[in-house]
Structure 1
Amino acid sequence: MQKVMAAVPWVALILSFVATIHNHIGLVEASADIGVCYGMLGDDLPAVTEVVNLYKTNGIGKMRLFDPNPAALEALRGKEIDVSLGIRNEDLPQLAGSVDAVNSWFATNVEPYLNDIVFSYISVGNEVIPGSLGIYVLPVMESLQKILDDRNLAGIKVSTVVPGSALGVSFPPSSGEFTLEASSVMSGIVAFLAQRGSPLLINVYPYFAYASDPVNIRLDYAQFTATSPVVKDGELSYYNLFDAAVDSFLAAMEKVGGANVDVVVSESGWPSDGNGDFTTPELAGTYNRNFLKHITSKAGTPKRPGAYIEGYIFAMFNENQKPEGVEQHFGLFHPNMQPVYPVF
């Protein structure tokens, strides 16, 4: 027993060293498994330590945090779960106006954890483009990047999360183009990402497209279950709406100078309840299992075959304090940590 106890500090030291190497040098590739978004908008959710253990138990190697929750970050120390960390939308104006404020944000929310947590991304805002907060994104990204450069933290990539509504044209995929409002800020952001070798984080929801137009959008196309091409775009054939959406973003970035910028799917999912026959546990389970299979197969998309596109399922739990009008049942697990349907 004494020998085991004596080994514990060495294990902690090794984990700390691995996290530091990853964060600093960026030589360690992101784990090729699936990520899951950890939303915390609920008053009946389990303690963060239990949630982190639930990630580990189910082999979920990546977590997206929408804001730097101190309890969650503490619970993640040494757990070998890659973290994508978000900056709250409401903090963007203040941060954009003050380099000192960005330094303070980093010193509080990232620096104390660098030796114990692998940070994959810091996302500057969530779905603020297009919108009035969009102009603040790039200045904050640039300030954050300077901090990372000064500390040789090349393993942490700075980006922002963009919704499908940033695209003015999405069909066919090769015609993908940002809206006029979005392109006014996206051109600068994409140039930044291209220069730094960082990806754009995109939210992709075939569910919303299908639910809004079930007459023209086939269910099998939305759920990865079509067995023959559904959409032809020049030489490219599309079997699923997910690939088409991703390639629309890639085409849009090409049009503003980002031909070599990669994407990470920061959210995708299907609700199990809340919208009649469109939202059943069976449909949600089928989508998320196929999404997981598609991501981990590294099949890429028709535009970029064989490319590894990292992906995060939304979300870990059914949360009971979502903003009005938002589906409340995207969770993989109930608050009691029992699965809503089998995925892992």
Structure 2
Amino acid sequence: MFKSNGIDSMRIYNPNHDILGALAGSGIALTIGPLNQDIQSMAADYVAAQAWVAAHIQPYVNTVNFRYINVGNEIIPDPLAQFILPAMNNVQKALFFSNINHIKVTTSVAANVMGPSFPPSNGHFHDQAAAILNPIVQFLVAHGSPLLINIYPYYAYTSQPNQLPLSYALFNSTGVVERDGNLGYQNLFDAMVDTFVAALEKAGGGNVGLVVSEIGWPSNGAFGANADSARIFNQNLIDHVSKGTPRRPGVPIETYLFAMFNENQKGPAEIEKFFGLFYPDKTPVYPIRFV
């Protein structure tokens, strides 16, 4: 289904061997990672990281196009965050000793790692997050890995709809909405990404790439969630990401839409069931063009 729709990359949240088997020979670039609850043991013991790589990467490395190993999803600033960098180092070491050199090791963070970040040039990691992230940024610099960010303009818009125009969130603004020095922002996505760019610059990672590893707009379930807005947002996003942002113009942004399918058992919030582009029977929730 990914191939038939022209989708060339996938992110999964646990090492599901049925999915890995199905991806063999497909060429689809895969982001994969250990479960959050496994990070502490992989940080404490290299053997645990080595065993994870041996079980989930090595058997498939010649047939599956692994792109990133994501060590920890939105853990920062949880107390478990202290284990992310040691686990990343152990996974990197395990890959090295397995002669696997093409897979980048990274972690993914949400917008809650940011301090007050208006305008985007003020973007910075808040103190608690910076204590964890600044050394991680140096790891990313050393290994040429990007930082993965999960951002949701939908939630930013619905948290302050009187301050943020819907058109700004949906890429429909006809002119500059937010001015930041000599840079102008016509959409909320660019502003959110550039707050991370500014934060990376302050952390010594001005050349670290950014991958938007989660983003989407729900089609039902809460205020602002409807199929029309979801279609407009996701289509405009697809059409926009190749252009870069005001702080990084012309630099395409690798972006992963969340999610492929509506899931009736997802929760706890009702809205989480409605981020899918397709129903479970593979019919589209709304028309969308991927290429």
Query: Which of 232, 242, 258 lines up with 1:314 in the alignment?
Result: 258
Q: In the alignment, which residue of structure 1 is the partner of 2:274?
A: 329
Contact 2:71–2:105 (CA<8 Å) still a contact in 1? yes
Q: Distance in 2 between matches of 1:340 and 1:121?
A: 29
Alignment-mate amino acid for residue 335 of structure 1: P
Query: Which of 220, 234, 238 lines up with 1:292 in the alignment?
Result: 238
Alignment-mate amino acid for residue 172 of structure 1: P
Deviates more, 1:136-145 or 1:317-326: 317-326
Q: Distance in 1 between matches of 2:34 and 2:28?
A: 19
Q: Distance in 1 between matches of 2:38 and 2:276?
A: 27
Q: Distance in 2 between matches of 1:150 and 1:294?
A: 40
Q: In the alignment, which residue of structure 2 is the partner of 1:182?
A: 129
Post-superposition shift, 1:151?
3.7
Post-superposition shift, 1:319?
1.1
Post-superposition shift, 1:152?
4.0
Q: Distance in 1 between matches of 2:70 and 2:254?
A: 15
Alignment-mate amino acid for residue 253 of structure 2: I
1:99 equivalenced with 2:43 (yes/no)? no
Gaps of 5+ in 2: none
Q: Secondary structure at the match of 1:328?
A: helix
1:301 equivalenced with 2:248 (yes/no)? no
Identical columns (%): 48
Query: Which of 166, 170, 173 lines up with 1:223 in the alignment?
Result: 170
Q: Secondary structure at the match of 1:63?
A: strand
Q: Secondary structure at the match of 1:87?
A: coil
Post-superposition shift, 1:150?
3.0
Q: Distance in 1 between matches of 2:218 and 2:27?
A: 29
Post-superposition shift, 1:100?
0.2
TM-score under structure 2 length normalisation: 0.97
Deviations 1:91-125, CA, capped at 9 Å, x for gaps: 11111111000000000011100110111100001
Q: In the alignment, which residue of structure 1 is the partner of 2:74?
A: 127
Query: Which of 281, 292, 295 lines up with 2:227 in the alignment?
Result: 281
Alignment of 1:96-245 (within 5 A): 96-245=43-192
Query: Which of 283, 286, 289 lines up with 1:341 in the alignment?
Result: 286
The structure 1 segments of at least 4 consecutive aligned residues displaced by more than 4 Å after TM superposition are: none
Deviations 1:238-285, CA, capped at 9 Å, x for gaps: 011101111101111111111111100001100000014x01100000
Deviates more, 1:189-198 or 1:251-260: 251-260
Gaps of 5+ in 1: 1-53
Q: Secondary structure at the match of 2:107?
A: strand
Deviations 1:185-217, CA, capped at 9 Å, x for gaps: 001100000111110000111000111110000
Q: Distance in 2 between matches of 1:281 and 1:221?
A: 18
Q: In the alignment, which residue of structure 1 is the partner of 2:29?
A: 82
Post-superposition shift, 1:57?
1.2
1:261 equivalenced with 2:211 (yes/no)? no
Deviations 1:284-314, CA, capped at 9 Å, x for gaps: 000000111112xx21100010112100000
Alignment-mate amino acid for residue 280 of structure 1: N
Larger relative contact order (CA 8 Å, sep ≥ 6): 1
Query: RMSD of the alignment, in Å?
Result: 1.0
Alignment-mate amino acid for residue 230 of structure 2: A
Alignment-mate amino acid for residue 323 of structure 1: G
Q: Distance in 1 between matches of 2:99 and 2:183?
A: 41
Aligned length: 288
Q: In the alignment, which residue of structure 2 is the partner of 1:67?
A: 14
Q: Distance in 2 between matches of 1:251 and 1:134?
A: 22
Q: Distance in 2 between matches of 1:92 and 1:147?
A: 14
Contact 2:53–2:95 (CA<8 Å) still a contact in 1? no
Q: Secondary structure at the match of 1:161?
A: strand
Post-superposition shift, 1:149?
2.6
TM-score under structure 1 length normalisation: 0.82
